[in-house]
Structure 1
């Protein structure tokens, strides 16, 4: 008999496994959002192994079914981007809530996971901050390299600085332990004035 956490995890993975977008990691193909979910959960466990069950689920479900809300369906400007991001948070929270309800979690637990997925009270709520640290660490560890190949240094410096500003002191320390390429490490240092 599965626990509610195990059952919810199975269903979150099953949803993310339907992503038609494929990414390759260490010569293996993965549905993009399933790989992202696995990375989020692993990074959380490495960074904060005592994280609550609510944070663990919020980490796994951070991008659940993201491909269903296409960026192209919004205006391709800053306002459209921000609206897309806001709608995504609500979509991820709602999709996860339905899974948690089915898995047998109570309303308070489900509300807390939604609160975290929607990243409410960043910098004020310790668990929201923890989740944001993990999101930033996953970006820096796995997605900065491919991102850097598509953008100029000025844009990258701006993004690195914004990422850094969202993180806690503990997150900063962890981020500096990541093994970056020489170019990206130089870029990070230049962005942060280190």
Structure 2
């Protein structure tokens, strides 16, 4: 996947920002800032899912959770309304952080607007790039984050989450999900979710 010098510089600045995440995750025997690892996984998954992805889409995948720890989930009420408010606030926050960095690197207004449009997940199911981003987010979630999540919730909640995840994905995304190196437990849950 071709990357311009400008994009590599933006990636570097996104990674420096995410490298400040105080939350760490173990990966290949090292502790890595959680959002930095997430950003690298998003880029890798986008590359394998859509090798022709546009520059704005590649930029968006890399900064999708930029500095997320700065607005913790528990700063909002721990219910559905609180969750939705938190998600809306995060979209604006990520868009602001990303725009700042893209401006600094010298991107034009049109590119920055496209990245903000994608970060805000506008026109899901209607806009091809928004849908590709959502597919990649779902694939990364299923491959790396679903199993740890599974330990904290009961089966009926997990099935509901898998059904919602599946509905957000395109047919191509769903096919890719079934090719992921998932455990038998996860695959069985997906199978149950798709039967209901």
TM-score (norm 2): 0.96
Tell whether 2:19 aligns with 1:35: no
Tell whether 2:20 aligns with 1:18: yes
Tell whether 2:81 aligns with 1:65: no
State the partner residue of 1:153. Answer: 155
Question: CA offsets, 1:16-46, max 9 Å, x none?
Answer: 0000000012222100000000000000001
| Structure 1 moving runs of 4+ over 6 Å | none
Aligned partner of residue 150 in structure 1, secondary structure:
coil
State the partner residue of 2:88. Answer: 86
Distance 1:24 1:34 in 2: 12
| Unpaired segments ≥5 residues, structure 1 | none
Distance 1:186 1:131 in 2: 26
State the partner residue of 2:193. Answer: 191
Aligned partner of residue 23 in structure 1, secondary structure:
strand
| Unpaired segments ≥5 residues, structure 2 | none
State the partner residue of 1:116. Answer: 118
State the partner residue of 2:176. Answer: 174
TM-score (norm 1): 0.97
Distance 1:124 1:100 in 2: 26
Structure 1 window deviating more from structure 2 (29-38 vs 178-187): it is: 178-187
Distance 1:178 1:157 in 2: 18
How far apart are 1:74 and its partner, in Å?
0.9
How far apart are 1:188 and its partner, in Å?
0.5
Distance 1:28 1:180 in 2: 22
How far apart are 1:70 and its partner, in Å?
1.3
